[in-house]
Amino acid sequence: MYEVRLKSILDNDFYKITMQNAVVKLFPNERVKYGFINRGSHHFPAGFDAELRKSVNAMAELKLSREEKQYLRTTCPYLDLPYLDFLAGYHYDPTEVQIVQHGNDLEVNVEGEWYRTILWEVPLLALISELHYRMNHLERDSDETVVKRTLEKAEQLNALGVTYAEFGTRRRHSYKVHDLVLDALLRNKTSKFTGSSNVHFAMKYGVKPIGTHAHEWFMFHAAEYGFKMANALSLEHWVDVYRGDLGVALSDTYTTEVFFQQFDKKFAKLFDGVRHDSGDPVEFAEKTVAHYIANGINPLFKYIIFSDGLDLKKVEEITKACRGKIGISFGIGTNLTNDVGLKPMNIVIKLIAAKSTSGDWVPTVKLSDERGKYTGDPEMIELAKKFLGIKD
């Protein structure tokens, strides 16, 4: 009745693929844990856990097709060939996912080798979101309305003259809405729509898959090497693997201020730009421009990808503030894939602990530029703040 099934193993965000490639190469033995966080206090009806379990179990049947492998090889030459062979033989293991329901609350945890479990986060969130709307019998707007609304947004973005991509897999309303949105965005052949974070849809519609790394890359490095070394070693290892490709650095895992202390001239020149994901976007742009200038770099040769809860009003404000100062691009997520007349879900799955081959479990934390977005063990958060000199 509520059957929700993924259609492709590539129905995932591209940064999961790029990080998995790096993890297979650098950290093949480390174990991790992920945990689901219901930020929006959403209501999960009776039997939700059983339906989600069916969807998760069905993922074991997904397999990279020959066409998909060739697509990755052709489109993403920076992915290691041995990794593509690994991915061709990869299967999701549903036993890595624990699902428990307590009344209307849902608990989802993932545990296993990092190189295997790294792919679970995004499809799990997409499944939870789609099942939530179905099982709560929430009726969305019609297909025609969704398409019309998307076309209007594309027109407005085109009028602003900004480049943008679709970043909405994790909290999409459904696969069908996601598909409708991508189809609509590509109707205007003169727009500056650049691609999708979703590899399956990028392949389906012949656009660029977009993404580099996520917070978990930095969170793992903090657990493995310490908070002081997390940013620098995360960036160093990324450069070691990709040698100049995929050059956008995520800046806010341990606050932007701390990030820029280690994003020195070497990294500022090696990376094409940075991604903004929390805090005031205009303030962030000003700090970024100042940082490049202080390091003798022309900000107009670099760019910022903005990706934090964007709507068209935010995009317009950021564009007006940044134009002529630094390159800009936008990754628009939920506002594209879940603007259907219903309240979008506010849910995340975060890396919560990491374990090296020789150590104990170490809790992981994220200290974004918004205090309310701090995640992780409270004691470890305080320890990180102390080590990094972060004051509330």
pLDDT, tens digit, for every residue of 194-240? 999 999 999 999 999 999 999 999 999 999 999 999 999 999 999 99
Read off the pLDDT of each residue in 131-160 and give the average, rounded to a whole number: 96
Q: Which residue has the tokens 């978990």?
A: 216
**Averaged pLDDT of the chain:** 96
DSSP state letters, 35-50: EEE-TT-----TTHHH
User: Is pLDDT of 245 > 80?
Assistant: yes
| pLDDT tier for residue 108 given thresholds of 50, 70 and 90 | very high
Q: Which residue has the tokens 């979101």?
A: 129
The rounded distance, in Å, linking the Cα atoms of 99 and 91 is 19
The rounded distance, in Å, linking the Cα atoms of 353 and 113 is 12
Read off the pLDDT of each residue in 8-37 and give the average, rounded to a whole number: 98
Distances (CA, A) of 258 to 17, 216, 232, 307: 27, 17, 11, 20
Chain center to CA of 188: 26
Give the percent of the chain with pLDDT over 70.
99
Read off the pLDDT of each residue in 46-62 and give the average, rounded to a whole number: 97
Write down the pLDDT at residue 183. Answer: 97
The rounded distance, in Å, linking the Cα atoms of 381 and 367 is 8
Write down the pLDDT at residue 130. Answer: 98
Write down the pLDDT at residue 225. Answer: 95
User: Is pLDDT of 21 > 90?
Assistant: yes
Write down the pLDDT at residue 188. Answer: 83
The phi-psi region of residue 244 (left if phi > 0; otherwise alpha if psi is between -120 and 50; otherwise beta) is: left
pLDDT in tens, 359-378: 899 999 999 898 767 889 99
What are 136's two structure tokens?
């709560």
Q: Maximum CA pair distance of the chain?
A: 61
Are 188 and 154 a contacting pair, CB within 8 Å? Answer: yes
User: Is pLDDT of 191 > 90?
Assistant: no
Q: Indicate the length of the chain as a whole number.
A: 392
The rounded distance, in Å, linking the Cα atoms of 235 and 92 is 28
Helix (H) or strand (E) holding 286: helix 281-294
Write down the pLDDT at residue 3. Answer: 86
Read off the pLDDT of each residue in 304-319 and give the average, rounded to a whole number: 96
- Report the candidate in 337, 338, 362 with the shortest Cα–Cα distance to residue 351: 362
- Report the candidate in 253, 223, 247 with the shortest Cα–Cα distance to residue 114: 223
Write down the pLDDT at residue 372. Answer: 67
DSSP state letters, 91-115: ---GGGEEEEEETTEEEEEEEEEHH
DSSP state letters, 110-154: EEEEHHHHTTSHHHHHHHHHHHHHHHTTPPPPPHHHHHHHHHHHH
pLDDT in tens, 57-104: 999 999 999 999 999 999 999 999 999 999 999 999 999 999 999 999
Are 281 and 255 a contacting pair, CB within 8 Å? Answer: no
Read off the pLDDT of each residue in 241-258 and give the average, rounded to a whole number: 96
Read off the pLDDT of each residue in 92-121 and give the average, rounded to a whole number: 98
User: Is pLDDT of 1 > 70?
Assistant: no
Q: Is the dihedral of CA 379, 384, 389, 392 positive or negative?
A: negative
Write down the pLDDT at residue 267. Answer: 98
User: Is pLDDT of 140 > 70?
Assistant: yes
What are 270's two structure tokens?
């090696």
Structural domains in the chain plus CATH codes: 14-139+345-388 (3.20.140.10), 143-337 (3.20.140.10)
Are 310 and 331 a contacting pair, CB within 8 Å? Answer: yes
